[in-house]
Structure 1
Amino acid sequence: MSLKPSEHQVAGHMKGGTAATLVDNEGKFYKPLQEGPRGAREYEFYETVKGNSMQEKSSKKECTGTLQTFMPTYYGSTTIDGVKHIIVQDINFGYDKPSCLDLKIGFRTWYEAPWNSDDWISNRKQVAFP
């Protein structure tokens, strides 16, 4: 199996001008997890929805089962060059000219959290509202 940068990515996780996300020739998409609590929460989210979380409750299973129908298949995680990646279905696989929208719900592009500095938040606000 060989990994290569996702050729159809136009934004998001980038590394030196190319996509930091990777794809293989089997239809899998490798997304690097951010360091710190955001990456840990994203990983736990996929594990919970997949049903691998240790904190299962019947109501959570019902909710996550419904959510799975709207998500690409989750295959787990791996470490590549020291960076943890989640592995999901590459929904662009097999298309010559895929057209896919990754829509975020909300209006802010910064994340106000205790681990983000005031300068970081201020910078995001200036970019969003010049």
Structure 2
Amino acid sequence: MLRVPDHQVAGHHARDGKLGPLIDGLGQFYMPLQSKERGSKEVAFYTSLSSDARIPDHICRFFFPLLHGTQLVEASNGSGLHPHLVLQDLTSNCLNPSVYESEEAGFWRPDRERVKKLSAEDTELVLRKLISSNSVGDWDSVPDCSLASAVYGGSTGFWPNCWS
């Protein structure tokens, strides 16, 4: 039986008639797909993430919920059937869940159009800076990647070239 989670999840609440996430109590989290292309982009992201052989399994398992596909279920606000992304409920086995979602918790958000124009090399540089202890304002320095081991799983993790 699907129900509304007790806590805010992924920045969303199912309250006051607003469409929100659901859980099944069996370890699955149902996130309503947003309208227009946002929902399809989210499905594409999780599909790509779960099938990209370049990303080590321990990175996906540790930092992202497992994808269980999509499903048409009754919406949390009672408005009828609605497509949902079905993911692993990361908090299902936690007594006092506390999950950090960097998308919502970040203090800096770049301009969306600027990010869309980043090359692969620019994207790698930004991500390397995010795992470095360099000063936030020091964008001209070479990233030291000193936090990579903790974030990406050491020399066998996601970016082993950070240690070369």
Structure 1 stretch 68-77 or stretch 98-107: which is displaced more? 98-107
8 A contact 2:19–2:32 mirrored in 1 = no
For residues 35 and 106 of structure 1, what CA distance do their matches in structure 2 show? 26
Consecutive unaligned residues of structure 1, counting only runs of 5 or more, are: 52-59, 113-130
Letter in 2 for 1:7: D
Give the root-mean-square deviation of aligned CA atoms: 2.9
Where does residue 43 of structure 2 map in the other structure? 43
Instruction: Look up the SS of the partner of 2:53 in the other structure.
Output: helix
> Percent identity of the aligned residues?
29
Residue 29 of structure 1 deviates from its aligned partner by 0.6
Where does residue 55 of structure 1 map in the other structure? none
Residue 98 of structure 1 deviates from its aligned partner by 1.1
For residues 47 and 12 of structure 1, what CA distance do their matches in structure 2 show? 21
Structure 1 stretch 76-85 or stretch 62-71: which is displaced more? 62-71
Q: Which has the higher helix share?
A: 2
For residues 24 and 110 of structure 2, what CA distance do their matches in structure 1 show? 29
Letter in 2 for 1:77: T
Runs of 4+ in 1 over 6 A off after TM superposition: none
- Residue by residue over 1:61-112, the C-alpha shift from the partner in whole angstroms, topping out at 9 and shown as x without a partner, is 3147575232111111101233211111111112222111211157239966
Where does residue 88 of structure 1 map in the other structure? 87
Instruction: Look up the SS of the partner of 1:43 in the other structure.
Output: helix
For residues 110 and 14 of structure 2, what CA distance do their matches in structure 1 show? 19
Q: Which has the larger radius of gyration?
A: 2
Where does residue 26 of structure 1 map in the other structure? 26
The one of 39, 51, 62 equivalent to 2:54 is 62
8 A contact 2:10–2:101 mirrored in 1 = no
**Structure-1-length-normalised TM-score:** 0.64
Residue 40 of structure 1 deviates from its aligned partner by 0.9
**Structure-2-length-normalised TM-score:** 0.52
Instruction: Look up the SS of the partner of 1:62 in the other structure.
Output: coil
* Aligned positions of 1:63-78 closer than 5 A: 63=55, 67-69=59-61, 70-78=63-71
For residues 42 and 95 of structure 1, what CA distance do their matches in structure 2 show? 25
Q: Which has the higher strand share?
A: 1
Instruction: Report how many residues are paired.
Output: 104
